[in-house]
Amino acid sequence: MKDSPGLHLKTYVLILFIVLFAPLGNVLLSKGMKGVGSAKNWALSDIFHVLFSIITSSYIWLGIACLLTFFVAYMLVLTWADYSYVQPASSFSYAVVAVLGYFLLGEAVPPLRWAGIFVICVGVFIVGHTHPRTTEKA
Amino acid sequence: MLEFFFLFMIIAAGTGGELCLSRAMKVVGEVHDFRPAALARFVLRAMRVGWMWIGIAMMTLAFFSLLAMLSIENVSFVVPVTALSYAAGAFGAMLFLHERISRQRWLGVLIVCVGVTLVWLSRR
């Protein structure tokens, strides 16, 4: 990654986008799907009704828009920043999704889940610090 | 039981889709020119690769499985559990793309699996 203050600022802003928009997208999808009803109660004959509910849910579309924003930010930042820098930074999104779930959806997040999320972040951080190319360059 | 099925679909179809896309992108080749016209040509070239369409179909399946899973479980449970895709990705890359996975990466994957187990145990 080339070094300049402007580039650093651009990288931090896009990583902030990644860490916020992916969890926000998932939280909105969750909110939308809770409105559709549990998949445990879906019958095969209800499939069109369920699909209609999904595609007419504004939460689902907002969630998709957030996930697309995340995807574009992820692709953009990878055009100049190293994968081994971006991926560990994006591991924070696992913690952010729990925080958003707690505050926006009122989900109960037990201490064991927080501990698990922390361990996942550590694991992703280690995975991200390995060399991105695992085969010899042709 | 249904949760296991959807989780399996999210991880298997999602990882399988990413591996297919990765394979397709290797067929298409590395991007050097980021001008819009060159990028459009790149996308058109990618769309002619069969692996790309298989990848898109699998990722669509994974997305709808994620929606179904989110209708049953809390998002603070579902998203961390899908981190299992790091393990599936490592195994898939080794078997399907013949990539060499370093010891450090396996260690990271193992730690992710421990974290996912803790999250799973926190389920009500």
Residue A26 sits at the chain B interface (C-beta within 8 Å): yes
Contact call for residues B28 and B48 (beta carbons, < 8 A): no
CB atoms within 10 A of CB A53: 16
* pLDDT tens digit sequence for A35-84: 888 877 777 777 888 888 899 999 999 999 999 999 888 878 877 777 77
What pLDDT does B117 receive? Answer: 95
Of residues B118 and B29, the one with the higher pLDDT is B118
Give the integer Cα–Cα distance in Å for A22 and A38: 23
What pLDDT does B7 receive? Answer: 92
Section B7-15 average pLDDT: 92
* pLDDT tens digit sequence for B46-105: 888 899 899 999 999 999 999 999 999 999 999 999 999 888 888 888 887 788 888 888
What pLDDT does B6 receive? Answer: 92
Of residues A135 and B52, the one with the higher pLDDT is B52
Percent of chain B with pLDDT over 90: 46
Least reliable range by pLDDT among A52-56, A84-88, B37-41: A84-88
What pLDDT does B92 receive? Answer: 83
Interface ipTM > 0.85:
no
Amino acid in position B12: A
**B80-109 residues touching A, CB cutoff 8 A:** 80, 83, 86, 93, 97-102, 104-105, 107-109
Helix-strand-coil split of chain A, %, nearest 5: 75, 0, 25
Residues with Cβ within 8 Å of residue B33, at least 6 apart in sequence: B39
Q: How many CB pairs under 8 A join A and B?
A: 140
What pLDDT does A102 receive? Answer: 94
Q: Distances from the Cα of A33 to the Cαs of A37, B12, B67, in angstroms?
A: 6, 22, 6
Annotate B54-72 with DSSP letters as a single string: HHHHHHHHHHHHHHHHHHH
Section B118-122 average pLDDT: 94
Nearest CA among A133, A99, A81, A136 for reference residue A19: A99
Q: Where are the domains of chain B?
A: 2-121
Put simply, the answer to whether A116 touches B117 (Cβ < 8 Å) is yes
CB atoms within 10 A of CB B102: 13
| Tokens of residue B22, six digits | 């990765």
Of residues B17 and A88, the one with the higher pLDDT is B17
Put simply, the answer to whether B99 touches A110 (Cβ < 8 Å) is no
Residue of chain B with shortest Cα separation from A94: B80
Residues with Cβ within 8 Å of residue A133, at least 6 apart in sequence: none
Percent of chain A with pLDDT over 90: 46
CA distance B55 to chain A (A): 16
